[in-house]
Structure 1
Amino acid sequence: MSSRPKQNEKKNGTNYQTLMAALILTAGLALLIISMAVSIMYGAADIDFRTIWESLMDFNGSSSSHQIIRNLRIPRALAGAIIGAALAMSGAIMQGMTRNALASPSIMGVTAGAMFTMAIVLAIFPSASRMTMMLFAFAGAGVGTGMVFLVGTISKSGLTPVKLALAGTAVTALFTSISTAITIHYNIAKDISFWYAGGLSSIQWVHIKLLAPVAIVGFLVALLLGKSISALNLGEDVAKGLGQQTKVTKFIGTIVVLLLTGASVSVAGTIGFIGLVIPHITRFLVGSDYRILIPCSAVLGGILLVIADTVSRMINPPFETPVGTVTALIGVPFFLYLARNDGRTPS
């Protein structure tokens, strides 16, 4: 008899999480579309909704407003949604695979590694194509991740969440210092400053054409990994007992993170903390089932970056505040809270 209340409580919790997931995926997608519309409307020149609708339904190439909407505002809003979703999904996958609440692309050396290789490309091959820069960003993200896990693994007491975060901080500082030295030596500060600050101001359709295919592949594979990551999040021994190929899951998950993060960094530079904050918020709302958590994180991540980009344009008009600064204002206090609690958050 005593087990029935517990079963009912568990069932009610599952129903609540399912309801929240459905709400996020429906209302969240609607909010994402609205936030993208607001992002298109506001900037150096404010544009009303009627003009936006006319540019979509009856484009006039001689209208400067239509040109701005089609060639600048729409690609920027799309990039914000895609990159925000990519970074949030990357953070969710990393936290699930490592069982580390502090794991995220910006903290684990992934972003800094990508920036390091991009500095090399800009110094040695200043006329390199976007595709070349993207490939180097993938490689740098892999090197950064590998170094963090290597430093954390050789620790005497093992790979604890805090030590992994400290290793990530150290590797990030190392790559940032070397990148700065390269920047100064080769006098490319102006060229690389955009990627250091992080932003969407230079996004055009050519960037979307490079970003979208990689992001779509990463999204689909991440969704397929949801069940395996949920098992892995319970512990490696438990996952093996459930018949999961843990090494295969970790390998594929790492590749997905490198693809999503590398593509994002090569297009928008270093935009931190989305991959740290969003998975925790999503986990609080929908639980730890990664089949639900990953797509919900994608939606919330897209919303956060689109809104942050819009705010960055409104803080000091007509100048733009780097969007990485806006996300850092949200993420740094959250990170300090997690570090203070040894990587634990209330569930």
Structure 2
Amino acid sequence: SNNSITQTMTSISSTAQSMSNTLSWTMSHGGNNDTTFGPKAPASPRKGNVWYKQLDNGTTELYYWDGNAWVLSAKTDSQWQKNRAEQSGDHTRFDGPDEPKNAQQGDIWFKEDVNEKNGIAMYSYSGKTWVKFNGMTDANMLQEGNIDASRINVLNLDAGNITAGTLSANFIKGGQIDASQIDVINLNVNSLVGNVSQFIKSNWNGEYQSVSIEWSGMTVSTGDMKTSFNNYGINFDYRGRSIGYIGRSTLVGNDNVVGMSFNLNSDGDYFSWSAKDKGDPNGNYPMKMAWYRQGLPNTRAGFVFSDDVNFDNAITIRGSADVSGMLATMAYYKSQGATFVIPTSVGDGQTIGSYVYV
């Protein structure tokens, strides 16, 4: 009768309910991935099978068979009973079975899916809908196209084969960067640490090795000329000859008297003060005052003034004075009938009080 059938089905259902609390069960999905519930791992699993492991405390853990071993995917009771949202950078990561609400473009949603290799499906919010990401578990299949990495969190990245047109280093932290292939356009040196002086010494010599930096100073070489900056001043060498230097000096025996000097070294022959003629930028530098050593051809030893010399105060000449040139000049003009007038006194108003004729 119908009553006896109903009683039998109720009895079977009650028995099944009682057995489900203590025994394992397995559901086969049409020959595809199997789903098993129970405290013991299923025997002879196939890749992709799912096992809900029943724990002694009444909770459940989710495992999937990766082909070699059972891999823990998630604790279903603690992680999948309700949706979770976690802020990560400027986007939100959602975990759970229910479709997240109030999502923003770029947000990510992880949802349990027995058809996925690791039992979890990944979705990305396009701004209008959740789009499933296919192939999240195996990136070897990603061969071309563009990836916007502004919203990707990378745990470990092997950058050995990365080539990029533009790489923003705003968030590079820690580790080491081999800069042998990096061209730096702008460098903020406020935070440079390490042997900065050694870096400058090794890399500032230039393409033609024209600059050398040592502890004692710096040397700049251009052709036959070498200019050195050291503790004394600026030294000049020409074709291997040390010409001289401009710099600080002290008096012999009194270091407290300090001055600036133009010094001619023993390899130098003369020094001079010269000036180009006005309006002749391409011309030579005619000497206005010079000092020559003895024995130089076509020169007169000592100081030579090649321009007017004015003295605002009285001149004191110590030692002998050779006026033979002046007397010879006077004799010449005298022979031409000239008369020389020599003042013998000058008044306060620069008026000549008396004079003699020669």
TM-score bucket (shorter structure): under 0.3
Answer with 1 or 2: which has the greater Rg. Answer: 2
- The structure where strand makes up a greater share of residues is 2
TM-score (norm 2): 0.17
Question: What is the TM-score when the length of structure 1 is the normalising length?
Answer: 0.18
